[in-house]
Amino acid sequence: MPSLRPFIVAGIVALVVLLPGATVFVFHQQKLHQHAGAVQVLYKDLLEFRSTLSAINRKILTNENRQEVLDSVVQDTRFLHLRSVAWQSKAEESHMPGLAEWLRSQQLMLNRWLDGMNNDAYPDPDSTITMMLLQLDDVILETSMELQHSHERISSSIQFFLFIVLFVLLMFAVSATGIITVNYRKTVLPLNRLAGRLRSCNKDLPESIHDTVEDVRRHYSHDTFSHDIHQISHSIVTFCQDLEQKNKKLDELFIRDEKTNLYNYRHFRDHLVMDVARARRYNDPISLAMIDIDHFKIYNDNNGHVAGDRVLCRMAEIFIHECRKEDVPARFGGEEFAILFPRTDAGQAHMIVERLRFVISREPFEFKEGQPGGDLTISAGVATFPEDASDWFSLVNHADRALYYAKSMGKNRVMSYADIQLEGP
């Protein structure tokens, strides 16, 4: 069953080989560089050793009878002895036992020389310094060769690592080429045919996407083609299902008010028309409440539209929480709301709306103390079919009339259309 899995496995194998190898190479290179650096430092120290020793020899040969010169020679020899001790320690740390042993022998020779000068025995430059210089030249030459070998080992290590990397990459490339060739024959070509079938299946009928997907599922099953083709066909089906769900969400957004998430006027009107028709058919009562926020323009002017939007959202939450499951709250427009009460007479609707008015009057809205009366309140009008209206249109008008009558009576109250009729025009 061709897929990209072998290609991925080959890549993982290459990484598994290269990463530990690279780690080992880095540590090995660090050790080689440290050794080369230490050898180079020792090489410079040996040159300094020779330079100091030559300077001592020149002082002895030039002014062999002057006491101040002899004192200077003693001082330089002691300094050279101290330096040789440090160089010996470096040689031991750099795993160069031969050089360390030679430096130790030079320290003994320098000690004997110092003891001879302290006993007023004049040093013999021909038998001592000359021999030390000759030995030192040999040691410097050996150290120089060791330094050269260290650099050669570094270069050889890099070349070997690059060879391994190139070999692994070459094997990876060969494997990848074979895998790509197999996948092209058994996955890419069928995929091309699948794309052609998708283009030809009902391409002029967007509403028949589901039928096209069923056709793809029938002709490109897991047993017929590769696992990749099966995954693609499954993705097509999943995509179409997601598309249907998103279309439902878009429909939901189309019928919802974006600020309050209540039904908008368009959907509420369609709901009202159908529910009034159902109430007429089954001889059931249905009530409608029109609700308006009192002095909301003052609130917006004083506190801004952002604060006003928060009030609208909180009002919507209260309506949803306090209403029954079958009730239909909606935002009618601006600061005006509507609630439809199916199978609810005027008395029940008035009681529900009155409870809403009470809850809202006790709600701690921000900045409500700046409102007239110190509270943010609502006024509402209620009308009922068939007592107060003969159709949905008159039901809205009569509930609206009851609302404006409530506002004219001082606001923060609920009025029914029947109350208006009793009190007269």
pLDDT in tens, 52-102: 777 766 766 665 556 666 667 667 667 777 777 777 777 777 777 777 777
Residue 53 or 326, more confident: 326
Known catalytic residue at 92: no
**pLDDT band at residue 13, thresholds of 50, 70 and 90?**
low
Note the pLDDT of residue 200: 64
> Best-predicted range by mean pLDDT among 14-28, 143-157, 174-188, 334-348?
334-348
Q: What is the pLDDT of residue 118?
A: 61
Q: In this structure, are residues 52 and 76 in contact, taking their beta carbons and an 8 Å threshold? A: yes
282 secondary structure, DSSP code: H
Strand partners, 331: 337
- Quote helix, strand, coil % in the chain, to nearest 5: 75, 10, 20
**CATH number of the domain located at residue range(s) 265-423 in this protein:** 3.30.70.270
The one catalytic residue in 244, 335, 354, 363 is 335
Question: Which single residue is written with the structure tokens 């010169």?
Answer: 69
What span, in angstroms and rounded, lies between the C-alpha atoms of 383 and 401? Answer: 9
93 versus 330: which is more confidently predicted? 330
Residue-level pLDDT at 1: 42
Which pLDDT score is estimated for 289?
A: 95
Q: What is the per-residue pLDDT across 230-277, written as a single tens digit (0 to 9) for each?
A: 777 777 777 766 766 776 676 667 788 888 889 998 899 998 999 999
> Among positive and negative, which fits the CA dihedral 204, 208, 210, 211?
negative
pLDDT of 342-395, one tens digit each?
Answer: 999 999 999 999 999 999 999 999 888 888 888 899 999 999 999 999 999 999
Q: What is the model's pTM?
A: 0.48
Q: What confidence tens digit (pLDDT) does each residue in 203-239 have?
A: 545 555 666 666 666 666 655 566 666 777 777 777 7
Strands (E), 120-182: none
Contact call for residues 72 and 59 (beta carbons, < 8 A): yes
Mean pLDDT, the chain, rounded, equals 78
User: What pLDDT is recorded for position 121?
Assistant: 52
Of the ranges 22-26, 190-194, 318-322, the best mean pLDDT one = 318-322
- pLDDT of 5 above 70: no
Q: Tell me the sheet residues that pair with 384.
A: 287
What are the domain boundaries of the chain?
Answer: 5-169, 265-423
pLDDT at 299: 92
Residues forming a β-bridge with 341: 287
Which fold does the domain 5-169 belong to in CATH? Answer: Four Helix Bundle (Hemerythrin (Met), subunit A) (1.20.120)
